[in-house]
Every structure is written in structure tokens, then in C-alpha cells.
Amino acid sequence: MKLIRILLFPFSILYGCIVYLRNKLYDNHLISSTSFDVPVICVGNLSMGGTGKSPHIEYIIRLLNTNYKIATLSRGYGRSTTEFIIADKNLKVIDIGDEPMQFKNKFNNIIVAVDAKRVNGINKLLEKAPSLNVILLDDAFQHRAVTAGLSILLTDYNKLYTDDVMLPTGTLREFKSGAKRADIIIVTKCDATITAQEQDAIKRKINQLPHQRVYFSKIKYGNLVAMNGGSNSTGNKVLDKETTILLLTGIANPQPLENYLITKVKSITPAKFPDHHNFTEKDMMSVLNLFNTIAAANKMVVTTEKDFMRLKSSPAIHILNSLPVFYLPIEITFLDTDKEMFNSQIINYVSRN
């Protein structure tokens, strides 16, 4: 595997140069970028997924939801459509994507929209909801056609963008220099035991510019939620050392979740699928068969909230109805005094604009 990555390195340089040239064309206004009067906050990353965009967007929604009218705009990765759509209760994951469905499922009073073309999406939102106070762009750091008023870049504590290289050798979507466009850089998924010295070392690696702020966040896991509202709760709902779980994931990086769960339960049997995977009947049968092979008295299926959105929309979900299936919701929390400073920066930006 390492040899293949080395052999692919020239393609990484070529790809990086193409993306770099595109960014320079935007930087020098040779390709136009659209600004909007409404506050636009972009949340994204330099790498391919797995940095925690969804829980950070949800954090911002909770922060602003009481006093501002909010809309989220995503591309809607994995959906069967491309046009502008506003989420409602009649739509499914295949129509708008798993992350927008998760936003709508948790926050009924916000507008959740998808559009492959973000400029068109924002124009449509403002046309349909002119009283909007703020628009959150999901995974749009490389979408240069929109000039966001505030850009937030996420990077995984366990795989900082400073230690990564371009696709296909590494996971970067663009050269590390792209981080200069960010107003805020958040180091996500930090260990709870991270020290001030470690934070300072990471800040030195990032080498933030005068206009940038660096924050540190960690994952906060919630309580298990039964897939069918409790009707399939024949298994043990409590994570303890008597429990064996089949961990069903279709996310970019399930490792932090595995690391958390292995400290809580007896053992884990993983069932991994690609990121944003739409579960088929064959997939459901393989999960059922794998669950039945687990020789344990207390066993359950545990999945992520994002995977749950796709599972419950699958026509084959009935195959798992006899199993104790639960999802584990997550939130993020900031370390030390970062919470107050981050909150103030977001609120000040929105209120000023």
C-alpha cells in the first residue's frame, strides 16, 4: 500500500497544481466569485471527509437558533437529484442526502436546502425566505464560486492537514496553503487529555495568520437511541462490559467511534461500508447474518446518527426490524476557554452583518 502511494505521488503533484491554479484564478478575480448581503458561514476542510463537519454545523445552529432565522445549504452528497430542493417531511435521504436529512430531523424550525450549485442555492433561498439572517454552507471550503463572509476550516487532531499530502497519495483536496483562506481553524476530535503544551505545538504547526483564530474541539457522545423508538429493544440498551456490539458504519472515519466504544463494551464486530453508502437489501442481509454469528447473550447493533438516516430510508430496513438496533448521537464541545471565544466570534460576525 505504501509503495502504491509513493508511485502515485507525481499524480498528487499534478492534481495539486491544477487545484492551485484554479484557486489563483479566483484569488486574482479572473474567475468571478459571488458575495451576498446575508451572513454566509462556510464549514469545510482540506481533506477528504471525517473531520466532523455535521456536528460543528449543528453546534452553530444551536448557538444561533434562538435569535436568528437560519438556513443550511449542502450539495447533498449521494442523492439522486442535483437541483435546488428544500427539505420537508415527505422527502427521503435519496432526495437530499444523509447530512441534510439529519439537520432537518433535529431542527424543524430551520430551512434545510440542497443544490449542486451553491450560488443558485443561496439566490433561491433568499428568494423564498428573504428574512433569513444567516446561511450555513456545509462542506464548501473548495466551492470558490461563493465568497463566504466567514470561513471555518476543520482538521482532525489525529491527522492534521499539516501532516498530509495531496490526493491520491494522501487525502488533501488542495495544497496546505489553502488554509490561508480560513478565518477560523478548528482542531477536531481532540483527546480529552490534550495538554496546553500539545495545543501550543499544534498551533505552531498550523502557523496561523494574524486574521486567524485556532480552536480545539472534542466529541461528546450521547445516549443510545432505539431505531424504532424502542419497539426493537430486545437487547441491552446500556453500554457495559457484558455487551457485544456489531458496529455498523458508512462514514469516512469510524476509528474515533470504535476507540470510544471499545472502552465501554466487551467486544466489537465491525461492519464497515463506504462513506455515504446507501444500504441495499444485500447489505441488510449481510448485517443480519453477521449479527446471528455473534455468540453472545447481550448483543446489539450500534450505528451512527448519519448512518441511521440512510438505514431508515432504505426499502430493505424491515430486514433489521427484529434486531436491537441503536444509533449513538454525537455533539461537539470546545476545550478550555475556546467555547466562549468561538461563540463570541460567531455571534459578533452575524450580528454585525
pLDDT tier for residue 7 given thresholds of 50, 70 and 90? confident
Q: For 73-88, what is the mean pLDDT?
A: 92
pLDDT of residue 229: 57
Q: What is the pTM of this model?
A: 0.93
State yes or no: pLDDT of 233 exceeds 50.
no
Q: What is the pLDDT of residue 78?
A: 84
* Whether residue 270 has pLDDT greater than 70: yes
* DSSP class per residue in 26-61: HHTTSS--B--SS-EEEEEESBSS-S-HHHHHHHHH
Give the cell for residue 298. 447481550
Tell whether omega for the bond before 55 is within 30 degrees of 0, i.e. cis. no
Q: What is the pLDDT of residues 143-176, one digit of tens each?
A: 999 999 999 999 999 999 999 999 999 999 999 9
Residue, of 50 and 18, whose pLDDT is higher: 18
Q: What is the DSSP letter of 227?
A: T
Neighbours of 227 (CB within 10 A): 21
pLDDT at residue number 235: 43
- Please report where in the chains the cell 434562538 appears, as a residue: 66
The pLDDT score that the predictor gives to residue 192 is 87
Among positive and negative, which fits the CA dihedral 10, 15, 20, 22?
A: positive
Q: Tell me the pairing of strands 40-45 and 134-138.
A: parallel
Share of the chain above pLDDT 90, in %: 85
Distances (CA, A) of 249 to 39, 234, 258, 270, 327: 34, 21, 10, 8, 10
Domain annotation for the chain: domains and CATH numbers: 21-221+333-352 (3.40.50.300), 225-328 (3.40.50)
* Positions of E strands within the chain: 40-45, 70-74, 85-86, 111-114, 134-138, 150-156, 184-188, 213-221, 225-226, 244-249, 267-272, 299-304, 325-328, 330-334
The per-residue pLDDT for range 9-37, each reduced to its tens digit, is: 888 999 999 999 999 999 999 999 999 99
Residue 62, C-alpha cell as written in the block: 444551536
Cβ atoms 280, 311 nearer than 8 A: no
Per-residue model confidence (pLDDT) at position 1:
60
Mean predicted lDDT score pLDDT of the chain = 93
Checking if the pLDDT of 237 tops 80, the result is no
Q: Which of 313, 328, 254 is nearest to 101 (CA)?
A: 313
pLDDT for the residue numbered 231: 40
Please check the confidence at residue 2 and state whether its pLDDT lies above 90.
Answer: no
Identify the three-state secondary structure at position 270: strand
pLDDT per position as a tens digit, 51-79 = 999 999 999 999 999 999 999 999 998 88
Number of helices (H), then strands (E), belonging to the chain: the values are 11, 14
Contact present, 64 and 349 (Cβ < 8 Å): no
Instruction: Tell me the sheet residues that pair with 299.
Output: 244
